[in-house]
Chains A and B, each alone.
Chain A
């Protein structure tokens, strides 16, 4: 078991009443799965991904990641955990504008204190694997959206995570670029990486091995 969510509730209080963002979410993810989360806007897809990615808190319920209780963990250990095992891919790519392609991919390694020579090798591998060696010295603004997301995926993968969380990874891309990225996810999954993606698109959801439907208010249907 990679992770397990039991009866997760998350809410905000507005004008005295609770508005639920996540309501009684239960989810078990095995290593090697490829899960798509679907649902209308505001149904809590991103919130769920953020909770899984340990970027956001929840009020009730328990969350186990590799048999460790995330909900009772200190901030520091939590960040250690996700640094080690989780990679993120965003709809808006979120590359750092001031860094080159090479440096963007390298950044997670810096925060893991990987040695310089090893970093070089790892980044070079990744550039090779994604066929972007020629673009390594370009800045994000000099790339197309598809290329930027490619870099985003490469950056998520560089630290060899067990889990990739992708929040509408193709939301800003045209259909051709979109297909390329999904194909890439599929290959990664086949290579053993667990992937959870939030998406609007049935086509993209179909790449996954199972789909989780969120309704308004966050209750899940599997």
Chain B
């Protein structure tokens, strides 16, 4: 019996090649698409699974309340880890880690900038780093030790063997001895260090670690199994104020299981982070699958007239309804299975491109029980979703009516079919609109007036060498003819790190705690950034004269409420500072927000050297010149630089990716929907062959007929637009809420999406309509 069904299914598939293609290809594209998304979702969900203790590991989050809302940081006092381990029951182990440090490693005259962290020895245990050489227990026995990842060991030494005990020159002034090699961490972990070294080294250099008031290191905590973390958190919340009078910082443990997908805080509360996109794309995966299943349903019921005879005969020959349902569902399962096979092929073909796009290393392993299970699950589900309605519909035909050759009344099936087409196109239109709006929003932010000139601007990390030679470097750069301006700053042009609430001025509400960003810059900074000076003056070239002068931005000036802010005095703790000028607001940190209050003070030290090239400078010549100068003055370090505009582009990575993916999925949704429409149009044309023949004989033109055939479908697309416009508007309005600097949703976006959908549908349908309309009527009339 099964074999019989199987044969019938295959013969039906091969007999109706066109429709089988639409069904199988459409479903295969859907499954491929969904599989790629699910692979990505798996990668996200399994983030940090590398660490066996994932479920008992936490990091300490710090909350700093101020009047504009609570800020949340990963930074904690250096004293916290040891202290809480003795004070708080349930805490098994703690470890500190410095924030990622970039250091220069030199071996045999070869130089490498490498990222790493200084960590407590307990870190090695808690995260169970896998030692290939050396051991976790002995690696940090000596102070000047370092543990390398396998990859870094290869990079530096060309091998992982016999490296223990070798010396690495660090930043020209220190030496570390390699005490261990660990396995590389996979990409989907929260850490990206290439080396770890004892925290003690960091502690010795950083006096502030001895104070409760200074926040700056990460603290990781392992808790006892089956301990209620909320109990620990209750004890921790005010813990810092028990150590330091008047401390405002509150702390809490934050589980590793949430680091990747949730770790986003607004005003001290966790808000949906990356999980938003994981959910969104999972939803899109299902939607695309359903769109593909809809094609199958629609084409099956549309073809019911053809299958009706078979149903009648089978019933007369003794088939029960359940047997027929089984047969038809079986057919859709076979179709789904063929689609899945094709999808696996497509997946292997397309996954590398998808990886390139999302910058991950996803791979599919068809023999992995999870992957195989999910693929079979999807296949089964698709087969069932697409098969159930047609199966019940087809198997309900009464044999007497069918065999008499009566036209079966389609009734419910017609409405279901129309409804499903509307659903498909509504989704497609929503995706089109979303794509346009996301693209617009990104463009909007990219094009916004940043308040400074990001073009032709590079920055270089400053080390002691550069700091010492900053004047000669500056002079040679200016003399090279390519460079207009050079300046030093504490932070990079786009991101400023330091904030304080310790500013006071006349008329300030003493209750109010306002965080103000402060940034040390050399006197040329404003000019080299292209920031506009609104009032007052810039710093004088001679720093001494401006040692207590500050420049503030417009938003800070507004905050003070002072009329003549230039010349007024602002207190920093006990130190009076004179405002010498106000600069225009410029964008930093959050590129989607207005700029927050900020002040510049003059400093001859900086972590970054900002170099502004002349507007007409040929960069292909300017960069080698810059390289030469840097190598001359800073010989032992490799030359590295970053363009500000490139960094700016990079900060849109998530949004750009979302935009690109939305575009791809919109295209796929449209493609699959149109495949279905194409099939339906073909059936309609065939069903109405006789009518078309008669009309043609009676004198209808090809244009009349194409209109006649296309009209019904276009109506459905128009209805889809009416349904999807408000939905899309609502969804995208919600999305845009996340961005303070955002576009208004223009009506033309809807017009474009609507016209696009109608146009695509028209092209799809009219192909069949024209074919039917130009056919010779004699042929179609003769067949009856």
Contact surface of A with B, Cβ cutoff 8 Å: 46, 50, 53, 55-56, 76, 79, 82-83, 88, 90, 92, 94-99, 103, 106-108, 110-113, 155, 159
Contacts of B263 in A (CB 8 A): none
| A112 with B400, Cβ < 8 A, contacts A94-B312, A99-B8 known | no
Which chain B residue lies CB-closest to A84?
Answer: B318
Tell me the B residues contacting A by CB distance below 8 Å. Answer: 1, 4, 7-8, 11-12, 15, 309-310, 312-320, 323, 399-400, 403-405
Q: Which residue of the partner chain, among B4, B11, B12, B309, contacts A110 with CB atoms under 8 Å? A: B4
Chain B residues whose CB sits within 8 angstroms of the CB of A106 once the complex forms: 4
A112 to B314, CA, bound (A): 12
Tell me whether A103 and B310 are in contact (CB under 8 A): no
- Known: A107-B317, A108-B318, A111-B318. Is A56-B400 also a contact (CB below 8 A)? yes
Residue of B nearest to A167 (CB): B403
Q: Residue on B with the closest CB to A155?
A: B317
Taking the nearest CB of chain A, how far is it from the CB of B230, in angstroms?
60
- Cα A103 to Cα B1 in complex, Å, equals 11
User: Across the interface, do A55 and B400 meet the contact criterion of CB distance under 8 Å?
Assistant: yes
Most B Cβ at <10 Å: residue of A56, A83, A94: A94
Whether A108 and B320, one on each chain, are in contact in the complex, defined by CB atoms closer than 8 angstroms, is no
Contact flag A111-B15 (CB < 8 Å), given A46-B404, A56-B400, A90-B403: no
Chain B contact surface mostly: helix
9 contacts between A and B (CB under 8 A): A53-B316, A55-B400, A90-B403, A98-B8, A99-B4, A103-B4, A107-B4, A108-B318, A111-B318
Expressed in whole angstroms, the minimum distance between the Cβ of A57 and any Cβ of chain B is: 10
Contact B323 A111 (CB under 8 A): yes
Residue contact A97 to B310, C-beta cutoff 8 Å: yes
Decide: B318 and A96 in contact? CB cutoff 8 A. Answer: no
Which of A56, A79, A90 is the one whose CB lies under 8 Å from B320? A79
Contact present for A98 and B4 (CB under 8 Å): no
Counted as pairs of residues, one from A and one from B, with CB atoms less than 8 Å apart, the total is 59
Inter-chain CA distance A50–B400, complex, in Å, is 7
Give the chain A neighbours of B405 by CB distance below 8 A.
92
Output the least CB separation between A58 and chain B (Å).
Answer: 12
Given A108-B318, A110-B4, answer yes or no on A98-B310 (Cβ-Cβ < 8 Å): yes
**B317:A98 contact, CB within 8 angstroms:** no
- Closest B residue to A53 using CB positions: B316
* Extra 5 A-B pairs, beta carbons < 8 Å, given A96-B8, A98-B8, A155-B317: A50-B400, A55-B400, A103-B7, A111-B317, A111-B319
- Asked if B12 and A96 sit within 8 Å, CB to CB, the answer is no
Other-chain contact of B15, A83, A88, A98, A155 (Cβ < 8 Å): A98
Pick from B1, B7, B309, B399: contact of A55, CB below 8 A: B399
CA distance A55 to B313 in the complex (A): 11
**Most chain B CB neighbours (cut-off 10 Å) among A50, A112, A159:** A50
Distance of A157 from chain B, by nearest CB (Å): 12
Inside 8 A of A79's CB, which chain B residues have their CB? 318, 320
Neighbouring B residues of A103 by C-beta, 8 Å: 4, 7
The answer to whether A94 and B15 touch across the interface, beta carbons within 8 angstroms, is no
Cα separation A132 to B15 with both chains bound (whole Å) = 25
Query: Lowest 10 A-B CB distances belong to which pairs?
Result: A111-B318, A83-B318, A98-B11, A94-B313, A108-B317, A110-B1, A55-B400, A56-B400, A88-B316, A98-B8
Chain A residue numbers with a CB within 8 Å of B317 are 88, 107-108, 111, 155
**How far in angstroms is the closest Cβ of chain B from A77?**
12
Q: How far is the CB of A74 from chain B (nearest CB, A)?
A: 13
**In the bound complex, how far is the Cα of B313 from the Cα of A92, in angstroms?**
11
CB-CB < 8 A to A110: which residues of B? Answer: 1, 4
Give the distance in Å from the alpha carbon of A159 to the alpha carbon of B318 in the complex: 10
A111 to B313, CA, bound (A): 12
Across the interface, B314 reaches (CB within 8 A) one of A53, A82, A96, namely A96
Provide the residues of chain B in CB contact with A55, threshold 8 Å. Answer: 315-316, 399-400
State the CA gap A111–B319 with chains docked (Å): 6
Let me know if B400 and A95 touch, CB within 8 A.
Answer: no
CA–CA, A105 and B399, complex, Å? 19
For residue A163, give the distance in angstroms from its CB to the closest CB of chain B. 13
Complex Cα–Cα for A50 and B398 (A): 12
Smallest CB gap from A96: residue in B? B310
Query: Which residues does chain A contribute within 8 Å of B400, judged by CB atoms?
Result: 50, 55-56
Closest-by-CB residue of B relative to A103 is B4
Q: In the assembled complex, which residues on chain B have CB atoms less than 8 Å from the CB atom of A112? A: 318
Indicate if the CB atoms of B8 and A94 lie closer than 8 Å: no
Tell me if A95 and B7 are in contact (CB < 8 A).
no
Residues of chain A contacted by B1 (CB below 8 angstroms): 110, 113
State in angstroms the CA–CA spacing of A95 and B310 once bound together. 8
A93 to B8, CA, bound (A): 19
What's the minimum C-beta distance from A162 to chain B, rounded to whole angstroms?
Answer: 15
A124 to B400, CA, bound (A): 30
**Beta-carbon nearest neighbor of B10 in chain A:** A98
How close is B331's CB to chain A, nearest CB, in angstroms?
11
| Distance to closest chain A CB from B396 (angstroms) | 13
Smallest beta-carbon distance B37→chain A, Å: 37
A50 to B401, alpha carbons, bound, how many Å? 11
C-alpha spacing A95/B312, complex, angstroms: 10
Q: Separation in Å of the B408 CB from the closest CB of chain A?
A: 15
Q: Which residue of B lies closest to A100 (CB)?
A: B7
Across the two chains, which residue of chain B brings its CB closest to A158? B317
Docked Cα-Cα span, A107 to B312, in Å, equals: 13
Nearest-neighbor residue (CB-CB) of A80 within chain B? B318
Residue contact B403 to A94, C-beta cutoff 8 Å: yes
In the complex, what distance in Å separates the CA atom of A137 from the CA atom of B12?
17
A113 to chain B: which residues have CB within 8 Å?
Answer: 1
Give the docked Cα–Cα distance between A92 and B314 (Å): 15
Q: Could you tell me the distance in whole angstroms from the C-beta of A60 to the nearest C-beta in chain B?
A: 19
Q: Give the residues in chain A near B399, CB-CB below 8 Å.
A: 55
Residues B316 and A95 in contact, CB atoms below 8 Å apart: no
CA of A94 to CA of B310, assembled, Å: 8
Measured in the bound complex, the distance between the Cα atoms of B4 and A95 in whole Å is 15
Chain B residues near A56 (CB-CB < 8 A):
400
Chain B nearest CB, measured from A149 CB (Å): 14
Residues in B neighbouring A108, C-beta threshold 8 A: 317-318
A106 to B317, alpha carbons, bound, how many Å? 10
Tell me the complex Cα distance, A98–B279, Å: 45
The answer on a CB contact under 8 Å between B320 and A96 is no
**A45 and B4 alpha carbons, distance in the complex (Å):** 34
A97 closest partner in B (C-beta): B310
A51 to chain B, nearest CB (A): 10
What's the Cα separation between A172 and B160 when bound, in Å?
Answer: 87
Bound CA span A46–B313, Å: 16
Residues A94 and B319 in contact in the complex (CB < 8 Å), given A46-B404, A50-B400, A55-B399 = no
Closest chain B residue to A112 by CB distance? B318
Nearest B residue to A95 via CB reads: B313
Chain B residues, Cβ within 8 Å of A107: 4, 314, 317
| Bound complex: CA A66 to CA B399 (Å) | 24
- Give the nearest-CB partner of B313 in chain A: A94
**Shortest Cβ gap from A81 to chain B (Å):** 11
Closest partner residue, chain B, to A90 (CB atom): B403
Residues of A close to B314: CB separation below 8 A: 96, 107, 111
Q: How far is the CB of B158 from chain A (nearest CB, A)?
A: 67
Q: Across the interface, which residues of B come within 8 angstroms of A95, CB to CB?
A: 313
**Residues in B neighbouring A96, C-beta threshold 8 A:** 8, 310, 313-314
Q: Which has the most chain A C-beta neighbours within 10 Å: B312, B314, B317, B403?
A: B317
Q: How far is the CB of B135 from chain A (nearest CB, A)?
A: 67
Contacts of A76 in B (CB 8 A): 320
Residues of B contacting A92 in the complex (Cβ-Cβ under 8 angstroms): 403, 405
Complex: A50 Cα to B316 Cα, angstroms:
10
Q: How far is the CB of B203 from chain A (nearest CB, A)?
A: 80
Tell me which of B313, B314, B399 has the highest count of chain A C-beta atoms within 10 A of its own C-beta: B313
Instruction: Give chain A nearest CB distance to B174 CB in angstroms.
Output: 81
**Chain B neighbourhood of A159, CB < 8 A:** 318
Q: How far is the CA of A96 from the CA of B405 in the complex (A)?
A: 15
Contact in complex: A94, B309 (CB < 8 Å): yes
Docked CA distance A102–B274 (Å) = 60
Q: Which residues of B contact A50 (CB under 8 A)?
A: 400
- Minimal beta-carbon separation of A141 from chain B (angstroms): 11
**Nearest CB of chain A from residue B317's CB, rounded to whole Å:** 5
